[in-house]
Amino acid sequence: MGIWGELKLENLYRNPDGNPIFWDEVLLDAVLAESNLTLLLNTQVDTLHREGCRVSAVEGTQQGTEKKITVEADWFLDAAGDGTLGALAGLPYYLGEQLVVPGQEPEPPFELLGSSLLFYTEKTDRPVTFHAPAYAWSREKSGGAAAGRGTYRRTNHEWQRLLVV
């Protein structure tokens, strides 16, 4: 069954209605439980270092904190959805429907999609059970910071959303 199968089974347990927001929570919970994985959310990679044909390190800036981060590793996975590492490594990529080859100027016009947000609502005839991810704070742990579900607090010059259950 493998890792993907385990994640899908966990999603069926926690998320029988197939809510895509809850699927994200299942994935994040699994990633945070993995000790050998470095997750850098809201980090834009802007520099790539190579040793021969191999990527040896990447540098990026974390949004919000403006912290500069360097990661050295044997393997890298670009899960940003825009192919940044491939483009920085000098590989051809698509901008909209147009193939961009490094060293050649792409020709406008570009037909690109805009940004989007996902809101998910569904009317049901029964209560929907929410299984909190492992990283969610209990009301006791939040120290009374949350009168209701999901409040904001200021820490280290950043606003953090607390998931309180």
Residue 26 φ then ψ, to 5°:
-60, -45
Q: Which residues contact 42 (CB under 8 A, 6 or more apart)?
A: 62, 63, 64
80-96 pLDDT, tens per residue?
A: 777 888 889 888 888 77
Compute CA distances 134 → 16, 27, 57, 163, whole Å: 18, 11, 31, 11
Cα–Cα dist 57/75, whole Å: 9
Classify 144 as helix, strand or coil. coil
Q: What is the pLDDT of residue 143?
A: 65
Paired tokens of 145: 């910071």
Q: What are phi and psi of 162, to 5 degrees?
A: -100, 125
Distance (Å, whole) CA 162 – CA 165: 9
pTM summary value: 0.55
What are the tens digits of pLDDT across the range 8-19? 999 999 988 888
Contact 13, 131 (CB under 8 A): yes
Q: Cα 44 from chain centroid?
A: 11
pLDDT at residue 159 tops 60: no
Q: How far apart are CA 148 and CA 165, in angstroms?
A: 9
pLDDT reported for residue 164: 45
